[in-house]
């Protein structure tokens, strides 16, 4: 499954590599032109569905970044596990207590749009997760306490498809994979998992242009 997903994610790159030097030159020109242009603000909300201990888990995220000529997008996101996974752990008093697994992280991201039209965008995305996980429980005083915690670094490649419904709103979907490449001792859960993505895009530039008649760009 892992090899299949990784192959699917990077298939467009591998196919592009079969072209001659002209294709590589086109890519380099797109890169140079894009980052010399004035970017537009890029905002999106996404839901990433994955699996932990055979439980379906939803992670919600918001991303804010810059869109360069609808070819390259860079920015920062924040992600929070929405449905905590429950389990029992042993506390310092050798008591078995019910806990919730909490996991949140910041995610610098980069997207390359390899095909787009007025309505559609097909892109490759990578994001690095920088955050942590912990077990939380409610004590006898009604206060939340943490039993264990770990710092976690992850890498998430994905293939995404976006569709612009109207001038201001779009939706998207995609598949990807979350790989954990560093974790401090504490949490022993397996966060590595296939993912599928559902997202909502808000075109702030279009909204501003509709209201004010001016283009929203970042100087």
Confidence of residue 163 (pLDDT cuts 50, 70, 90): very high
Model pTM above 0.85: no
Q: What value does the mean pLDDT take over residues 124-136?
A: 92
Q: Is the pLDDT of residue 117 over 80?
A: yes
Separation between Cα atoms, residue 168 and residue 45, nearest integer Å: 14
DSSP state letter for 94 = S
Domains belonging to the chain, first-starting first, are 2-212 (2.40.160.20)
Average pLDDT, the chain: 82
Contacts of residue 18, defined as CB under 8 A and 6 or more positions apart, other chains included, come to none
Q: What value does the mean pLDDT take over residues 5-33?
A: 59
Percent of the chain with pLDDT over 90: 39
Tens digits of per-residue pLDDT, 73-99?
999 999 998 767 777 776 667 777 788
Q: Is the pLDDT of residue 106 over 90?
A: yes
Separation between Cα atoms, residue 128 and residue 33, nearest integer Å: 25
């Amino acid at each position: 499954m892992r090899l299949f997903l990784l192959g699917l994610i990077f298939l467009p790159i591998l196919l592009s590599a079969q072209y001659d030097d002209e294709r590589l030159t086109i890519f380099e020109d797109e890169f140079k032109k894009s980052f010399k242009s004035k970017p537009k603000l890029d905002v999106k909300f996404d839901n990433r569905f994955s699996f932990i201990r055979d439980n379906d888990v939803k992670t919600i995220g918001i991303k804010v970044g810059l869109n360069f000529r609808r070819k390259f997008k860079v920015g920062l996101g924040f992600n929070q596990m929405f449905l905590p996974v429950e389990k029992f752990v042993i506390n310092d008093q050798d008591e078995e207590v019910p806990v919730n697994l909490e996991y949140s992280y910041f995610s610098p991201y980069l997207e390359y749009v390899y095909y787009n039209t007025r309505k559609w965008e097909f892109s490759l995305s990578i994001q690095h997760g920088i955050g942590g996980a912990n077990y939380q429980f409610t004590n006898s005083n009604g206060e939340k306490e943490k039993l264990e915690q770990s710092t976690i670094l992850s890498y998430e490649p994905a293939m995404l498809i976006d569709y612009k419904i109207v001038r201001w709103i779009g939706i998207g979907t995609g598949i990807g994979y979350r790989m954990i490449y560093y974790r401090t001792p504490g949490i022993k859960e397996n966060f590595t998992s296939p993912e599928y993505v559902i997202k909502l895009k808000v075109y702030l530039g279009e909204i501003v242009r509709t209201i004010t008649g001016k283009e929203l760009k970042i100087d």
